[in-house]
Structure 1
């Protein structure tokens, strides 16, 4: 068990399981994008550890850029998506892979997909470490999913509770 602020969390998915699954995703992306130069758009802050592990396991020539959104307050999605830092690079006619830590309601991802598709990419796929199918409020097609999980609040491996817990090397679930 670990305590973060006023909450207690218990172990959920180990570092070794996470790293093994990310290597599998990287292998699949490498096969799917062989001979192409995708642009990885990493959604900050949560996806930084997942993205780092993912791209270090990919042998493709690629570009990496970052975008930041916010829709959470404490342990709940607010339902309002705010763009905080935008992407400046041209993605017209490029293969895009959005790298996200977790897709739960799908609201942030739907917002991001619209913005990206408005910039005329060649293709767009999503790679997410975690997916909560029960929490979806809008349908999202995700090609690369690390783990499908129940609709529970998790921290670690980039995911946080009010800014804390991102540095944990495993995933923990609210007790």
Structure 2
């Protein structure tokens, strides 16, 4: 069943722009500078969390000026819905990271259930250290673990339903050039 494209277009027309493209790009560059300073000599394996992390990963890794191995993993709780459910692995990492440092890149740290599960998976599978980079850290008190913090954060935002730069609204608008909030949410 295809989405109601009129509704999908209306969502964008009515959305509030929280961060424009220039602001997001500047935040990505600041993240890259910190990662370059801290991980350049550590030979990390970098994993993009699909699908949300696709855009931020592409933008971020192209600014990392050291050798790295890049792959992806796909774990989700949303399945194109607006609320999360049980963690579902679509693709586990294929590059070995035993006794290696790992950098996980994702679009957002919201409640953190998915990111926490990915971190634990990497630790139990033999990573020597796990670092995390997220484009957006949503500010609220519903985190899966109070101690769960990303090592590298591009932007912090209010507790609203957001989309753009990899984050979606019902599977759409990952391609939006900016970060937008759903009207009324």
If the TM-score is normalised by the length of the shorter chain, which range does it land in?
Answer: over 0.9
Residue 35 of structure 1, CA deviation: 2.2
Root mean square deviation of aligned Cα: 1.7
Residue 83 of structure 1, CA deviation: 0.8
Q: Distance in 1 between matches of 2:68 and 2:180?
A: 31
The answer to whether the 8 Å contact 1:3/1:9 transfers is: no
Q: Which runs of 5+ in 1 are unaligned?
A: none
Q: Note closer, same or farther for the CA distance 1:3–1:23 as it changes in structure 2 (3 Å cut).
A: farther
Q: Which runs of 5+ in 2 are unaligned?
A: 1-5
Match of 1:163 in 2: 171
TM-score, L = length of structure 2: 0.87
Match of 2:115 in 1: 109
The answer to whether the 8 Å contact 1:96/1:125 transfers is: yes
Q: Distance in 2 between matches of 1:133 and 1:155?
A: 15
Give yes or no for the alignment of 1:39 onto 2:39. Answer: no
Give yes or no for the alignment of 1:126 onto 2:96. Answer: no
Q: Distance in 2 between matches of 1:149 and 1:55?
A: 23
SS of equivalent residue, structure 1 residue 145: strand
1:100 to 79, 84, 106: 106
Instruction: Give 1:121-160 correspondences, 5 Å limit.
Output: 121-134=127-140, 135-139=142-146, 140-160=148-168
Q: Which has the higher strand share?
A: 1
Residue 36 of structure 1, CA deviation: 2.5
Select between 124-133 and 5-14 the one with higher mean Cα deviation. Answer: 5-14
